[in-house]
Chains A and B, each alone.
Chain A
Amino acid sequence: MRILTTAGMVIGMAFSSAFANSPPLDPQRQNELVRLVRQDCGSCHGMELRGGLGPALTPQTLRDKPASSLVSTILHGRPGTPMPPWKNFLSESEADWIVDNLQKGFPDAR
């Protein structure tokens, strides 16, 4: 388990360094992502992100989790759980933006 976590972090760090070079997301795409997270992720995690069939995605519950592993979960899903991979719909930099905002407190849709 510990080894897996470490491996995940290493991969995550590689992702993070890639994001550093990505251009910032334009405001329209940011709005789309806010809507996607609140509406579509919200069908399992709750529109307020306080959890449902899936876990809560609030700053408190995500505080201790490394951003890199959260990004990896979004892009690749979590096999053995209902969490699906979103890599066909989100780029790495978009997943990074989502994790960053989830950990800060996610913006409202409107």
Chain B
Amino acid sequence: MLLVLALGVLSGCASPNLRGTGDLGVVVERATGSVQIVDTTHRTSLARVDGLGDLSHASISYSRDARYAYVFGRDGGLTRVDLLTQRIDRRIIQGGNSIGGAISADGRLVAVANYEPGGVKVFDAGTLALVADIPAVGSNGKRSKVVGLVDAPGQRFVFSLYDAGEIWVADMHDPSQPVLRKFTGIGKEPYDGMITSDGRHYAAGLFGEDGVALLDLWNLDAGVARVLVEFGRHGEKLPVYKMPHLEGWASTGSQIVLPAVGKHEVIIADQNSWKEVARIPVAGQVVFAVARPGGREVWLNFAFPNNDTVQVLDLPTRRIVQTLTPGKGVLHIEFSPRGEQVWLSLRDENRVEIYDPDSFARIGTLPVESPSGIFFTVRAHRTGL
């Protein structure tokens, strides 16, 4: 008893009350270099943490105990935020211009994808000490921006080289000696990548040509296949004012919902055959397609100038069942772990709105400065993040 008390004092906890982190999350305040720690049970903000640098395209991974948020900033900052003490635990500047990261299946390694200098750096998740540096020099001999970094089963990281058009698989069993498997000529300008929820397929969306580059991680020897090539091959391409994000590709187990590039459509594909099943007209260029847990509905947001709109696609009927205009600058959509709430960040309104996804009623609102990504701790236990 005394020992427990002493430990509590020593650890300097701000609050004497024990609590879990399963209902917590982090919302990025992109313009002010800060984040807010939020609570989905009480639908409140618990704290703001400042001093995280340029967060204009920030993303977050979680430690496997869901206590620490690793915040990847655009300025190359990698910051470990403690959700319980509500403070920065560690922070380094690891690169010049980074775009995102992932944590290994065993929770020991955090990898960061960098635009400048192009490559992947891997850090010890506890100390943030550099463990491995993987420069992304493509077969053309040039250094490439790295996009679409995910973790994959088998202690691997998978990522795409935007300029070189390649997919690399890094086996991290010996963290200081990554074993690389490189797939070249996978298509022009892979702009983002994602891994299916079963951890089997890595898919890179191509901007420079039609289709998706698909790698079966259960059978690397089969190489990269081009799928969904027909998608995009009709009519005129519309301008894309914001790149779609594929992390949010809604993979529901049997079907996958993809934003078309340069089309105001989503594509529903069969996740086994990777063939197009349907094509649904929507309100604009889709940025995120996010499946509600359970996979019945997919929520969509859109690029400028339609970024005041959110649509809900019902998968069984393949119909848009709701169109919401919650406010200007809808940047992100995140569901609570079991999907009874959905949180929307409204950049230009300086608030986060919380909706009931069944009734579409607004059930909460939080003041947040220029909010972008919303990341709940349920991500700690999902492959790919």
Chain A residues at the B interface, C-beta cutoff of 8 Å: 35, 39-40, 42-44, 46-48, 50-53, 77, 82, 84-85, 89, 109-110
Query: Are A46 and B191 touching (Cβ within 8 A)?
Result: no
Q: Does B305 contact A (CB under 8 A)?
A: yes
A84 CB contacts on chain B under 8 angstroms: 239-241
Q: Does B242 contact A (CB under 8 A)?
A: yes
A77 CB contacts on chain B under 8 angstroms: 239
A50 CB contacts on chain B under 8 angstroms: 74-75, 97
User: How many of B's residues come within 8 Å of A, CB to CB?
Assistant: 27
Given pairs A47-B56, A82-B240, 5 additional interface contacts (CB within 8 A): A48-B75, A51-B97, A52-B99, A53-B145, A53-B243
B303-343 CB contact bits vs A (8 Å, 1 = yes)? 01100000000000000000000000100000000000000
Which residue on A lies nearest to B239, using beta carbons? Answer: A84
Q: Does B57 contact A (CB under 8 A)?
A: yes
Output the least CB separation between A18 and chain B (Å): 23
Query: Are B54 and A48 touching (Cβ within 8 A)?
Result: yes
Report 5 cross-chain contacts, Cβ distance below 8 Å, ordered by A residue.
A39-B347, A40-B242, A44-B243, A48-B54, A51-B97
B191 CB contacts on chain A under 8 angstroms: 53, 82
Output the least CB separation between A61 and chain B (Å): 12
Output the least CB separation between B142 and chain A (Å): 15
Output the least CB separation between B273 and chain A (Å): 29
Tell me the complex Cα distance, A84–B242, Å: 9
Interface SS majority for chain A: loop
Whether A47 touches B97, Cβ cut-off 8 Å, given contacts A53-B243, A84-B241, A85-B239, is no
Tell me the complex Cα distance, A50–B56, Å: 11
Tell me the complex Cα distance, A85–B239, Å: 7
B305 CB contacts on chain A under 8 angstroms: 89
Partner of B97 from the list A40, A42, A46, A82 (CB cut-off 8 Å) is: A46
Which residue on A lies nearest to B162, using beta carbons? Answer: A53
Interface residues of B in 185-232 (CB under 8 A from A): 189, 191, 207
